[in-house]
Amino acid sequence: MSSPDVIVIGAGVLGLCTAAELGARGHAVTVLDPGGPNASSAAAGMIAPALESLLDDLSPGHSALLKRARDLWPAFAARHGLTLHLEGAEWRGPDPDAGIARLHALGFAAERTAAGLLTPDDWRVEVAAAMAGLSAATGVLRQVATVSTIDRTGDSWRVTAEDGRAWSAPVIILATGAAAPLPGLTGGTTALINRIEPIRGQLTPVRCASPARVVRAPGVYAVPSEEGALFGATMEPGVRDLSVDADVSTRQQAAGLSLLDHQGEGLPARVGIRGSTPDGLPMAGASREPGLHLALAPRRNGWLLGPLVARIVADGIEGRAPVDDAATLDPLRFA
């Protein structure tokens, strides 16, 4: 039985960012990845506090948290060898002047363009490259395993996989997305996880000329990618079905190509199940069970919030003074 310092159950963006943060701090971390696509790999990699604040009409406090999370990215990317794309993002929608005024009021830069507005404050990463880099971070060992049970034994947690393999560590981190609670959790932690709502998302890669930056419009966005562009994405609350909806792909391809005024060839769609809490912000921090921490449910902003969640969870494990945003993301706010 392997005995690392920390076991992370789940290999989406929150789990991988937290594992990389802990590894950089000198901890031996094992990430247990159930394998296959997840919500983070089926995402576009947008780090978009400005347009998320505008399009979701977020409060100034919520918007400021997203901006602080974004500001952690340059140092985090440099520390882990990740490429951060800083070309900004466009919004092509109704009343861009009102949008610019709103963004300015929230502290974001924005300017008028012929088609709408441009903000330099939204960035992005290439998802596949970022996940590979985080999986290979110093101190991190990723293993493919589907966890069946967890048990508290003395001062350690025992994690058992469906194939019988087992690991033991004093600290475990649940980064299991919108999955059901694992057997072995107490009722209190199970109740927290049951507050998470699944939200199905589908996006469509298209082989075409790549846009210069992210372009968003009502009902569609286009993100540069290795294939050309990613067009997305649906938000389907309460749905866990991972099958591809061909009609959605057809509509996304048509809307995205029209937005860019390009021709292109559709590629296999990607589907992921995001997790969302009642307030739309993730759970990041300790549970009431000793040595058990949560990194869950960032809604559609997992890539934006990854380094912030990682810092909060790592600080809690090490007993450091919490950052200001830790209280806002405390899982026990739903207890």
| pLDDT one-digit tens code per residue, 176-228 | 999 999 999 999 999 999 999 999 999 999 999 999 999 999 999 999 999 99
State the pLDDT confidence band at 2, using cuts at 50, 70 and 90: confident
Q: What is the pLDDT of residue 10?
A: 98
Indicate the DSSP class of residue 210: P
Percent of the chain with pLDDT over 90: 98
Indicate the DSSP class of residue 323: P
Q: What is the pLDDT of residue 313?
A: 99
User: Domains, the chain, ranges and CATH?
Assistant: 6-40+130-196+278-334 (3.50.50.60), 88-123+197-276 (3.30.9.10)
| pLDDT one-digit tens code per residue, 276-309 | 999 999 999 999 999 999 999 999 999 999 999 9
CA distance 291 to 305: 23
CA distance 2 to 30: 9
269: tokens are: 């769609």
Higher-confidence position of 238 and 2: 238
φ, ψ of residue 76 in degrees (nearest 5):
-65, -45
| pLDDT one-digit tens code per residue, 118-153 | 999 999 999 999 999 999 999 999 999 999 999 999
Percent of the chain with pLDDT over 70: 100
Pairing of strands 264-266, 236-237: unpaired
Average pLDDT over residues 266-270: 97
CA distance 38 to 135: 14
Average pLDDT over residues 322-329: 98
Residue 49 has pLDDT above 80, yes or no: yes
Higher-confidence position of 299 and 4: 299
CA distance 110 to 117: 7
Average pLDDT over residues 101-108: 99
Residues forming a β-bridge with 60: none
The helix (H) or strand (E) run that includes residue 204 is strand 197-208
φ, ψ of residue 261 in degrees (nearest 5):
60, 50
Q: Which of 228, 226, 244 is nearest to 236 (CA)?
A: 244
Residue 1 has pLDDT above 80, yes or no: no
- What would you report as the CA-atom Rg of the chain, rounded to the nearest whole angstrom? 20
CA distance 316 to 286: 7
Q: Which of 248, 45, 254 is nearest to 130 (CA)?
A: 45
Q: What is the pLDDT of residue 37?
A: 87
| pLDDT one-digit tens code per residue, 156-172 | 999 999 999 999 999 99
Spell out the alpha helix ranges (H) of 89-245: 96-105, 127-135, 187-193
Query: How far are the Cα atoms of 28, 29, 267, 285, 315 from residue 319, in angstroms, in the given order?
Result: 17, 17, 47, 11, 6
Q: What is the pLDDT of residue 36?
A: 86
Cis omega (within 30 of 0) on the bond before 233?
A: yes
Residue 155 has pLDDT above 80, yes or no: yes
